[in-house]
Amino acid sequence: MATARIVHGMSPFSRFLHLRLHLHLRRRTLTSAVRPYFAATSPPSTAVIYDQHGSPDVVTRVTELPPVEIKDNDVCVRMLAAPINPSDINRIEGVYPVRPPIPAVGGYEGVGEVHTIGSAVKGLSPGDWVIPSPPSSGTWQTYVVKEQTVWQKVDKSTPMEYAATIIVNPLTALRMLEDFVALKSGDTIVQNGATSIVGQCVIQLARLRGIHSINIIRDRAGSDEAKENLKQLGADEVYTESQLDVKNVRGLLGNIPEPILGFNCVGGNAASLILKFLKQGGTMVTYGGMSKKPITVSTSSFIFKASLSIILSCSSCEVALWLEMAPFDDFHTALEKAMGKRGRQPKQVLKF
């Protein structure tokens, strides 16, 4: 590094200028030697977060989150839409077995548009539509930054609300129909929770394969309308729980064969209604517990259906879903609808 050299005989003013020039050159040398690094970051994000477990309408709040660093393998996604699923509500309540540590951002699936990519990301570009696959927590916010391995590109011609809900519910229905019993045209399945999105998908996928469906719904206001809606989707029979309070439910089947496969997402007594219908040696798959009650199995089911299987499941055709797009700005109204506080409502999908 150069040192200042004062020449004898210089005037005080010349010496002053000489020292100023030396200090200026030294400052430039130091600045160029240590260049600051500015990492790419996401925009600030508006998010639904919860700091403790409890009733979602009490513990959630909408807040602003600071920008997040975008690393080499990261993708920053501007969320377009994300649903409010029953499992999302259960995570916030703290009763779902798999849940993120708190404080946490809500949401587990959705669709978004690539906003920014890290320097090492290949195969994705800004403007692409992506979904988290498998689902990943934290989708109830305007910007999400996660590694590229989290994101799966989807066709932008897909309706936004369908892309946002494709992973959790429709694929659950498909896997349950394919993974446990080798169903063929003419067979019958039975399910409770038939008005859920999974239930609606089961009905439609079964109909497309020539499989009969027996469907059980809760007793509540609007049940007649719900029955009609499910039959329009392709349900063979729809019963309320109270209608099945009879000794011989098989007498309700008419010419429909006894079900060989049942789907239970409710638990409690609703599970025993599935068993009432099942053929001897049938299989009941449990994929949810909306009642938060244990599965009730009668002694006679074990004795007289000796080969009964009870399975706990993790969870190119057109399927219609009963959805309602809700503005993200009106999150708490959508949440109340999703929690059933405003009567029977379509599945709520947040639109950002």
Alpha-carbon distance of 352 to 224, in angstroms, equals 34
Residues 6 or more apart whose CB falls under 8 angstroms from that of 235 comprise: 194, 203, 213, 215
Contact 225, 204 (CB under 8 A): no
Alpha-carbon distance of 96 to 116, in angstroms, equals 33
Alpha-carbon distance of 196 to 288, in angstroms, equals 11
Q: Is 108 a catalytic residue?
A: no
- By C-alpha distance, which of 237, 238, 190 is closest to 217? 238
Task: Indicate if the alpha-carbon torsion angle 117, 123, 128, 134 is positive or negative.
Answer: negative
User: Which residue of the set 50, 96, 239, 287 is catalytic?
Assistant: 96
In the chain, what's the furthest Cα-to-Cα distance? 120
Alpha-carbon distance of 210 to 116, in angstroms, equals 46
Residues known to be catalytic: 96
